[in-house]
Amino acid sequence: MDEILTRIVSIKEAFQQNLQAIQTLKEFDDLKVSFLGKKSQLQALLAEMKNLTVDSRRVVGPALQELKAFIENTIEQTRQEFVEKKARSAIEKEQNFDVTAYKPGISFGKLHPYSQAVEEIEDIFLSMGYEILDGPEFESDFYNFTALNIPQDHPARDMYDTFWTNKKSMLMRTHTSPVQVRSMQTKQLPLAAIVPGRTYRHEAVDATHDFMFMQCEGFFVDKDVTVAHLFATAQTFLKQLFKKDELDIRIRPGFFPFVEPGFEIDMRCPFCTQGCSVCKRSTWMEVFPGGMIHPNVLKAGGIDPDVYSGFAFGFGLSRLVMLKYGIDDIRHLYGGKLRFLEQF
């Protein structure tokens, strides 16, 4: 019997040693099999019980049961601790992840050409005292049309191929102009702001049209604002963007229900003098629609048109970015192709 008790002690010691060496979850299962399974020493001892005297069995029996319970419980408990420790160290690893860490050979990212151009455009207008505003892309019929002097059922709505939504009177804004009235309602005068942002039209997609594109609205409302301010602003901006000391503009009449009078402001092609493929051989490029804000729009914004006046413009930001960088297909601008993007 003494011999059996010594074996019990040595099984326990062996078990504890093996337990300490464990590295993976699977090893817990293996340990269980080798110490409690059919071929384990413990099972062998249990089988030997029948050869013992009744008195010996009374001592050995409980000792074996105790050993069995000890092995079972210890495996269970250690396994649980092991799982928790692993999870903790995974979290710590993530928390200690250093996003600024430099890995040799890795190439640095940079801003998308669109973002680079927007930053430049924002800087030009900031230098002229404008602020930069934002507005919702999911817009109401009121701000996108009605407040801009385009009433319900008016044919001027046909100018815009609108994405209507399931929500009544809500749409994806067709231009950035809704932010004109939104900001008049909430801001103090004088108000000078630009609004670069996404706009949506139900267009067939080709090299120069997309159903989503970028516009930049701009407006200035104060006492005694005139068309001369609009033209000077357009010219100053375009000269700086295309880095020209001189850049002629020309003015043609243009129709937009929310301006009166309305204009198309063209600039001399910055890439040629005689006509090229970019300006379609005309040496002029149509880039800058604008006009004096219609009295009805000022009224919708809570501003008295007899006291105040203002100008507004809304140019195609995507188009200008394409012109500036010589990009010939609008789809490149919104695709994620690295071979294209790495050129900028």
Interacting residues toward ligand PHE by CB under 6 A: 175, 177, 256, 259, 289-291, 312-314
Kindly tell me the burial class for residue 292, based on how many C-beta atoms sit within 10 Å of its own C-beta (0-12, 13-18, 19 or more): buried
The pair of structure tokens assigned to 202 is 């139900």
Cβ neighbours, 10 Å, residue 323: 21
Least Cβ distance, residue 170 to ligand PHE (angstroms): 19
Residue 259: half-sphere exposure toward Cβ, Cα within 13 Å: 26
- Closer residue to ligand PHE in complex, CB, 40/180: 180
- Closer residue to ligand PHE in complex, CB, 75/210: 210
What does the alpha-carbon distance between residue 284 and residue 271 come to, in Å, rounded to a whole number? 10
- Closer residue to ligand PHE in complex, CB, 113/310: 310
Least Cβ distance, residue 299 to ligand PHE (angstroms): 17
- CA 251 to each of CA 207, 270, 312: distance values in angstroms, whole numbers, following the listed order: 27, 17, 15
SS3 287: strand
- Closer residue to ligand PHE in complex, CB, 67/300: 300
Of all residues in the shown chain, the one whose CB is closest to ligand PHE is: 314
Q: Which residues contact 147 (CB under 8 A, 6 or more apart)?
A: 178, 181, 297, 300, 301
Contact 131, 193 (CB under 8 A): yes
Least Cβ distance, residue 234 to ligand PHE (angstroms): 11
- Closer residue to ligand PHE in complex, CB, 64/181: 181
> Residue type at 228?
A
Least Cβ distance, residue 112 to ligand PHE (angstroms): 23
Least Cβ distance, residue 159 to ligand PHE (angstroms): 7
Least Cβ distance, residue 337 to ligand PHE (angstroms): 28
For 73-81, the CB contacts below 8 A with 24+ separation are 74/15, 74/19, 75/19, 75/28, 75/31, 75/32, 78/19, 78/22, 78/28, 79/25, 79/28
- Closer residue to ligand PHE in complex, CB, 146/177: 177
- Closer residue to ligand PHE in complex, CB, 259/298: 259
What does the alpha-carbon distance between residue 316 and residue 325 come to, in Å, rounded to a whole number? 14
Task: Report the relative pairing of strands 191-200 and 131-132 from DSSP bridges.
Answer: parallel
Least Cβ distance, residue 103 to ligand PHE (angstroms): 45
